[in-house]
Amino acid sequence: MLLPPEEVIPHRPPFLFLSEVTELVVNEYATGYWNIGDEPFFEGHFPGRPTLPGVIMVESLAQLGAYLVLQAPRYEGKLPLFGGIGKVRFRRQIVPGERLDLHVEAVKLSALSGKAKGVASVGGEKACEAELMFVMVAA
């Protein structure tokens, strides 16, 4: 049984964009999802046509990536912070009530930093893909 995100990553509502982690292979990959509700930001993004902001979609991938790296004993007492985002592509609009399926694979992990690739999808249809870079700091 995998731990709930709140027991692994420091994010909390209203800035927690990861509902559950469903699969994890430490130092390799993690799979999970975010059940998107009627989030407050939808009121202004956009009135009459609520759309999940792309930066929040990338953040949900990063939160799954943080979960992945924080499960490795070598990162105990550390906190991964964004070091960069690359090759981001948005492929589909996301609306309230959808489930955003997330998958993050580690590309390179070192004691001080790392790189991962993430894909977010809805119903098997790719919504976003990105490269995520992070640096480790003391928690």
Residue 127's Cβ-side half-sphere holds a number of Cα atoms within 13 Å equal to 25
Query: Alpha-carbon distance 67 to 24, whole Å?
Result: 9
Residue of 2, 27, 39, 45 with catalytic role:
45
Written as one letter, the residue type at 32 is G
Domains within the chain, CATH numbers bracketed? 5-138 (3.10.129.10)
Q: Which pLDDT score is estimated for 1?
A: 84
Q: List pLDDT tens digits, range 51-64.
A: 999 999 999 999 99
Average pLDDT score over the chain? 97
Across the 139 residues of the chain, what is the mean pLDDT of every consecutive 10-residue run?
96 97 98 97 95 98 98 95 97 97 98 97 98 96
Supply the DSSP symbol for 67.
H
Question: Does the annotation mark 11 as catalytic?
Answer: no
Are the C-beta atoms of 120 and 59 separated by less than 8 Å?
Answer: no
